[in-house]
Structures are given as structure tokens and as C-alpha cells.
A and B are shown apart, each in its own frame.
Chain A
Amino acid sequence: MAKVHEITVWARGVIMDKEARDVINIFAKAAQMDGKFAQAFDNYEDLPDRVLVTVRKYVRLSDEEIEHKYVYTNDKPEVVVIAEETIIKGIDILRGMEKGGTLIINSNRPIDDLLKFIPNANLLGTVATVDANTITGVRTVDFSGSEGGVDTTGIGKGIAAPLCGAIAKVTGMIKKENLAKIVSDVSGMERGYNEVKIKKLG
């Protein structure tokens, strides 16, 4: 069985719920357009989400069909995406990560300042920051599209677009051309792709 890549997205409940959900849905769709197999899970473990509570969204990616579909949590995340920078302070976000993982943070602070808040940062291979709040400050508060429902508001309008662009550049798991067909805010995605700051750690 081919390796299953696990991506976990952390966000704040209600105010960024839609954006984090967009990230996983866009990622999974872009991977499927590339001929890969992907699963995207909205939060089940963290329900009911309340305003500002940290919530998790999961994506899985593989070259072959993913068979363990009833387990929805990512125990060993390879890539961790933080939709709001303060989450790194209050949660052990790298729990279960194996050495050489990737962390992508939506932040305008220097990477070295952010790493001070992560005690187990030696697990990381790559850290990247993208200032999605400046590129597009939009955060849609909407539950359309949650739990597999039809999304009527359109995906990738807000901070999800630059975050997806950053993920495409840092991880290389998805292609920018596929993203451009999916997201509503293509220019925001391009800016996220171009403006992401990457730091390789030893």
C-alpha cells in the first residue's frame, strides 16, 4: 500500500471554520485533478465548535486508493497548516509528527519569533509563513458546505486562497494550475504562492 500523506489544518471555531474547510476541500480537489486519491474531513472530533475554539480539519493524500476511510483523525501529520498564528502558543500542534515535517503558518511575524513558541520545533524540517490576512482579510462566517453539504458561497474566497497557494509551493503535493481552476480568488492564491517565506531547518 502506498504511503498516505496526512495534512492537518488548525483554525479557530466559527470565525475561520469556513476558511479551514475551504483549504481541505481545495487541496483534495486539486489532488484528485492530478489523478491522486484524496480524502477531506471536516471536524467531527472538535464539535461543537464555539467562537475562537481551536478546530482541526484533515486531508489525506495517496497514489493508491485509501482504504482506511473510517478513521478520520490524522495521527501522524506530515504537514500542519495553522490558519491563525496564536494557535501555536496554546496547543501542541506537532503532536504525532515524525521528524522532518512541514509547518505553514498564517502570520506576518518573523519565523524565528514564531519558533520560540514551539518547544518541540526540532521535529520540523521546513517552516513557512504566509501573510494571508494582509493579502485578503476576508473571513466568511458561513456553515454552507459543512459536513459534506453543498457549498453555495463558493470556495477559496478568503484567507483559504493564499494558504492553498503557500501549501502548493512549500509541499509540492498539488499544482498551482489545478488550484487556479478551483479557487474563486485566483489573484490571492497567486500572491500566496509567490509571497510565502520558507525556512529550512536542520
Chain B
Amino acid sequence: MAKELPGYGTINVPKDREVPFGAVTPAPVCTQDLFKTSNWRIVRPVKDDEKCTRCLICYMSCPDACWEYKEADDEMYWINNFCKGCQICINECPTGALSAVPELDFPDGVARLEKPF
């Protein structure tokens, strides 16, 4: 798409490189297999569905965008592969719906990597 920029003339931006106004992109748009950090964690956040009010504070406070809200189900989903167990969401949750559970209590859920990171 050709855009008119004052002082620069016309520039051509390909369709797939376009960003919306303010350069705010919906994140995460894709995930990188090389940056899996699930083997960093000692504990994982476990959600209590009855206490969760869908306030989205976990979604906003997570540094790795590991909480996802699906409107169709009206539920929060945890993204296992990139959660590094920092427990920020557990500390921020206003209703106490999240709790830290040791990772070895679960049989699955960690990407087993050949190298440390």
C-alpha cells in the first residue's frame, strides 16, 4: 500500500508488513519453538475455575503472554510451552484463583530440550 509521508514522499508498505495505527499489534501473533522456556519452571500456576472472575489481570501481568482469554468459552487458558514459572500471575491475581503447584506433580507439560536453552 502506498502511503504519503510529509517530507518523505510516497513509501510502499507490503500488505503483510502493515501495522495498525499506533503500531499496536495483537500479541502473541505466533510462537517460536526455539524460545521454549517451559523447562525453567519449578512450579506452575493452577487455576481454580470457581474463583476466576475473568478480570484478565493475569493476561496483562504475564511477561511471556502465557494467559489467553477465549471469548467463545469465556475461560482463561494457560500456555504451557512458554511459562517459566515466575509466579507473577499468582501474586497479582486479586481473587486468589491461582496457586503454585510443584511441576513434578504433573506427568506431562514440559518440553524436554536437548540443550539448556
Q: How far is the CB of A80 from chain B (nearest CB, A)?
A: 14
Q: How far is the CB of B108 from chain A (nearest CB, A)?
A: 9
Is A199's CB within 8 Å of the partner chain B? no
Q: Enumerate chain A residues within 8 angstroms of B84, measured Cβ to Cβ.
A: 52
Which chain B residues (64-117) contact chain A, with CB distance < 8 Å? 84-86, 102-104, 107, 110-114, 116-117
Q: Enumerate chain A residues within 8 angstroms of B38, measured Cβ to Cβ.
A: 90
For residue A95, which residue of chain B has the nearest CB?
Answer: B114
Contact of A116 with B107 at beta-carbon distance under 8 Å, contacts A52-B41, A53-B40 already known = yes
Indicate if the CB atoms of B42 and A91 lie closer than 8 Å.
no
Indicate if the CB atoms of A90 and B85 lie closer than 8 Å.
no
Is B39's CB within 8 Å of the partner chain A? yes
Indicate if the CB atoms of A91 and B116 lie closer than 8 Å.
yes
Q: How far is the CB of A14 from chain B (nearest CB, A)?
A: 11
Indicate if the CB atoms of A91 and B40 lie closer than 8 Å.
no
B residues contacting the other copy or chain, number (CB 8 A): 19
Categorize the interface residue count of chain A: 20 to 34
Is A75's CB within 8 Å of the partner chain B? no
Is A142's CB within 8 Å of the partner chain B? no
Q: How far is the CB of B80 from chain A (nearest CB, A)?
A: 12
Indicate if the CB atoms of A86 and B102 lie closer than 8 Å.
yes
Contact of A90 with B114 at beta-carbon distance under 8 Å, contacts A52-B40, A52-B85 already known = no
Indicate if the CB atoms of A89 and B103 lie closer than 8 Å.
yes
Q: How far is the CB of B103 from chain A (nearest CB, A)?
A: 5
Is A84's CB within 8 Å of the partner chain B? yes
Indicate if the CB atoms of A55 and B104 lie closer than 8 Å.
no
Indicate if the CB atoms of B112 and A92 lie closer than 8 Å.
yes
Contact with B along A71-83 (1 / 0, CB 8 A): 0000000000000
Q: Enumerate chain B residues within 8 angstroms of A55, measured Cβ to Cβ.
A: 116
Checking A46, A86, A89, A109 against B112 with a beta-carbon cut-off of 8 angstroms, the contacting residue is: A89
Contact of A117 with B85 at beta-carbon distance under 8 Å, contacts A54-B116, A91-B112, A91-B113 already known = no
Q: How far is the CB of B41 from chain A (nearest CB, A)?
A: 7
Indicate if the CB atoms of A54 and B85 lie closer than 8 Å.
no
Q: How long is the Cα–Cα vector from A53 to B113 in the complex, in angstroms?
A: 12
Q: Enumerate chain B residues within 8 angstroms of A12, measured Cβ to Cβ.
A: 42
Q: How long is the Cα–Cα vector from A55 to B117 in the complex, in angstroms?
A: 9
Q: Enumerate chain A residues within 8 angstroms of B112, measured Cβ to Cβ.
A: 89-92
Q: Which residues of A contact B (CB under 8 A)?
A: 12, 46, 51-56, 84-87, 89-92, 95, 109, 113-114, 116-117
Q: A54-B116, A92-B113 are in contact. List 6 more A-B contacts (CB 8 A).
A: A12-B42, A52-B86, A53-B116, A54-B39, A54-B40, A89-B104
18 residue pairs bridging A and B, Cβ less than 8 Å apart: A51-B86, A52-B84, A54-B39, A54-B116, A86-B42, A86-B102, A86-B103, A89-B103, A89-B110, A89-B112, A90-B38, A90-B40, A91-B39, A91-B112, A91-B113, A92-B114, A95-B114, A114-B104
